[in-house]
Amino acid sequence: MSTFLVPLQVVVQTPAHSGVAATLTYTHTEPLPAGTLVRVPLGTREVLGVVWDPRSEDAPQAEPSRLRAITAVLQGLAPLDDGWRRLVGFAAGYYQRNLGEIALMALPPSLRGLSAEQLARRLRRKPDARVAGIRACAQADEGNLVSIALSAEQESVTAEIDAQTGPFLLFGSTGSGKTEVYLQAVAAALAADGENQVLVLVPEINLTPQLEARFRARFAPLYGQAAIVSLHSGMTHPQRLGSWLAAHTGSARIVLGTRMAIFASLPRLALIVVDEEHDASYKQQEGARYSARDLAVWRARDAGAKLILGSATPSLESWHASEPAIARYRRLCMPSRIGAACLPRLRLVDMGQQPRKAVFAPALLAAITERVERGEQCLVLLNRRGYAPVLHCHACGWKSDCPQCSATRVFHKTDRSLRCHHCGLASGVPRACPDCGNPDILPVGRGTEQLQEQLAQLLRNVITPERRAARVARIDADTTRARGALQAQLAQVHAGDIDVLVGTQMVAKGHDFRRITLVAAVQPDSALFSSDFRAPERLFALLMQAGGRAGRDAGYMAAHGSAPELWVQTWHPEHPLFAALREHDYPAFAARQLAEREAAAMPPWSHQALLRADARTQEAAQAFLQAAVEAARAAQLPGLAQVFLYPPVPLAVQRVANVERAQMLLESGNRRALQHFLTAWQPLLHAERAHHKGLVRWLVDVDPQAI
């Protein structure tokens, strides 16, 4: 007696440009619900797959007897729901990626490798003892929470979020108490239903510990410690799996995470919060180049959940969408800081009027000295790590170029190394010029290492009120590589053990430093005249966010009789960006930038995509791009008449790891036309690759953040 086999469509992870169909057909002895996790054979391997809705794909018909069978069903785990599958399907279509690539990327790495038996053992593990009390705690009287006194602005904004459906753009100055508004919104969402879940996104891993601490302090007494989980790439694979399972099963009520958390399985999603929504870190820059901020907007609308986008410097796209004439977002404003705290005063330093080769203007150095002698802290910002960007021989002109990239290797004095920040190639510093033998090879330019060294030297005689010498510390990607290093260094800052902190942009946003009263930006001018039209927006946001670290504690400022200051050393003090920065006038800056973009038909008045090609030679990369254009025109692809294709050009860093890189910009005033064109273009791009042997890879980047 033969067994009846049911054909099922299964999504598996296949190479991005393999040309393999989005779903593959397998058989099983019985129907399985869409979203079921299964183990299936793929070539000589056995991989994880997700049963998909057959109606979503034009699945090829085949005799069941000729199809391969599903190896195992991962029992005990509820199927991934319709909302999750719709999110994955939308992301794959919009960002022009393979459906299986997005679906499997969204699952924890540990889950992809578990067999059915291993998963069953994992699920049988006894939950943390705290989990048992979650449901009971959820029924506790919400009045047990500590009553928080809200400012008038916070009360008004919170009431509007409660009363309206959103989505909301929360425009609040640094220190205005946006986090408390998030906490109030989360409390309301969880109290509305005993199974509701909330997703809170932050742009960077280093912002999750302090946010998690605040959420645990507020909600653990009500819902238990296990109801709050984090989800980011800094966690171990078992930790990520545990958090994902808690979210998927509903035992986790609050999920805090970075951009990857947007794909968490949250069956009862009621609220999404995107903190620092303007941050470019929400855009993935490798593989599937999705924007977690934009996917949050789509997911909230699809799930019927509320959405709060929060920032002191919203992205211009979000700001435009919240204009009364557009009104896609409801704009909520909190212009004042909590309590009597005031925004920092801007002090512009014209470097053209300072002593030659001065790193710090005398007035700035005097201000830092005065603050340290009063026991206050200062933050010095330079968005370039290392000691110097390049070593240079003045005798023959040799530079510390990277042999694999069209970039220089950065001099790191701490370990006497030259490192390429693009390909990672590192070597020791030569004793003499490799070309002419000159022993006097000198660093050119400055990085955070050099700034820390020079400040320590300049402040060596400065004594704090505790009768000790001033301490200068540095926080950047080099000093925080070790596990727990960032948390330890931030703890030192919060404890007052550091007097002057030198850092990159990683310390310029989100951190609640209570004792910092002065912030100084040393070399911000490069972004003023960048070829990237988003550079002024990013610089304004960085300076506003950095300045927001100063003077956050009104009580501390009053006790020291101090006022917060933001010092900016610039060669162009007359630039309009600084005029808006002086008044903390983001609306004026945004209006000027949007007017310029409208005149140039740039986003948000147009929509963009990049086609990038990596090849063994620059000629091969550009030849592929040009051939792709000619193929599109020959085929008269849909939407072509509404899409402008710019000529291929090399990237700013043309060669990385001995691979040449070129790109071509596509622009259209109609988003739908651009999407139709890109979708129709995909088969032609796959076909063209076969004709260009020197091509290494190609990719499409929709809504690029850097051009």
Which stretches does DSSP call E strand in 388-494? 390-393, 410-412, 417-419, 426-428, 441-444, 472-475
DSSP, collapsed to helix, strand or coil, labels residue 306 as strand
Could you give the C-alpha distances from 18 to 22, 91, 119, 694, in angstroms and in order? 11, 19, 30, 17
Q: Report whether 70 contacts 40 (CB < 8 A).
A: yes
378 is in an annotated binding site: no
Which stretches does DSSP call E strand in 193-324? 197-201, 228-231, 254-257, 269-275, 306-311
137 is in an annotated binding site: no
- Distance separating alpha carbons of residues 299 and 304, to the nearest angstrom: 8
User: CA 161: distance to chain centroid?
Assistant: 25
| Greatest pairwise CA separation for the chain in angstroms | 95
| Rg of the Cα atoms in the chain | 27
- Distance separating alpha carbons of residues 190 and 206, to the nearest angstrom: 26
- Distance separating alpha carbons of residues 555 and 138, to the nearest angstrom: 36
Residue 244: which of 199, 182, 179 has the closest Cα? 199
Burial class (CB in 10 A: 0-12, 13-18, 19+), 141: exposed
Residue 371: which of 511, 510, 470, 450 has the closest Cα? 470
DSSP, collapsed to helix, strand or coil, labels residue 9 as strand
Four-point Cα dihedral 26, 29, 31, 33, nearest 10: -70
Tokens of 398: 């040799």
Burial class (CB in 10 A: 0-12, 13-18, 19+), 438: middle
The helix (H) or strand (E) run that includes residue 297 is helix 292-303
420 is in an annotated binding site: yes
Residues constituting the chain = 707
333 is in an annotated binding site: no
Q: Summarize the annotated binding site for Zn(2+) as residue ranges.
A: 393, 396, 402, 405, 420, 423, 433, 436
Q: Summarize the annotated binding site as residue ranges.
A: 393, 396, 402, 405, 420, 423, 433, 436
